[in-house]
Amino acid sequence: MAMNSVFDWIERPLSAQRRMPPKMQRDASLFEPQQCQDPTGDAFTDFACEPETDRPSTVRRLVYLENTYQLEPYTVFKPHVLKPVMKLILDSTLQDKTYDKDEAPELCKHLADVIKDQAMKLKLPRYKFISDVTIGQKHGQGYVTASRCLWDDSRDNFTSVTFENKSLFAVATFYALNYE
């Protein structure tokens, strides 16, 4: 059989262009078969991978969720919540104390840890906490403290509390910093 046009192979499959016996002719193929046989044999299907239907309907599958890529905190730190707690801690601990230069460093560490533990009870996810306590002797001198931070005004915050008695003063500062 001769081809009449350039696109004749598109209109008729290759197997139709050659003359083959009717039993061996196929509708379409990428390759011409050397020899075709009659279909013989057995086939069966196994449904072993199909889920069981007799499972109770109350059993739920564990669902894995994608990462939310949440950068903003769910709740922000509110200084007015922690400030009275800090004041209570300083008042109750330092009320009857007199200044002792050997005891002051350990007392500062202890008060900073207690304040940080109370802040942890607020359960603010995605926040890092810094607690700083300074204790000094009250001897007629002036005291000025300052801090500088690089932070985001919309998420990060701080609170500060002071305490005084006849022999000492204390300044407690607490920083809550959101981390991404």
Q: What is the pLDDT of residue 72?
A: 80
Q: Which option is the CATH number for 79-178: 1.10.340.30, 3.30.1140.40, 3.40.50.300, 3.40.50.620?
A: 3.30.1140.40
For the chain, domain boundaries: 79-178
DSSP characters for 69-130? Answer: ---S-SS---HHHHHHHHHHHHHHHHTT----TTTHHHHHHHHHHHHHHHHHTT--TTEEEE
The Cα–Cα gap between 1 and 155 comes to 82
Q: Is 131 helix (H, G, I), strand (E, B) or coil?
A: strand
Q: What is the pLDDT of residue 73?
A: 80
Share of the chain above pLDDT 70, in %: 67
Q: Give the residue among 50, 103, 81 at the shortest CA–CA distance from 159.
A: 81
Q: What is the pLDDT of residue 66?
A: 82
- Residue 170: pLDDT over 60: yes
Q: What average pLDDT does the chain have? A: 81
Which range (8-12, 84-88, 154-158) has the least confidence?
8-12
- Residue 106: pLDDT over 60: yes
- Residue 87: pLDDT over 70: yes
Q: What is the pLDDT of residue 54?
A: 57
pLDDT digits (tens, 9 = 90+) for 113-160: 999 999 999 999 889 999 999 999 998 889 898 999 898 999 999 999
- Residue 2: pLDDT over 60: no
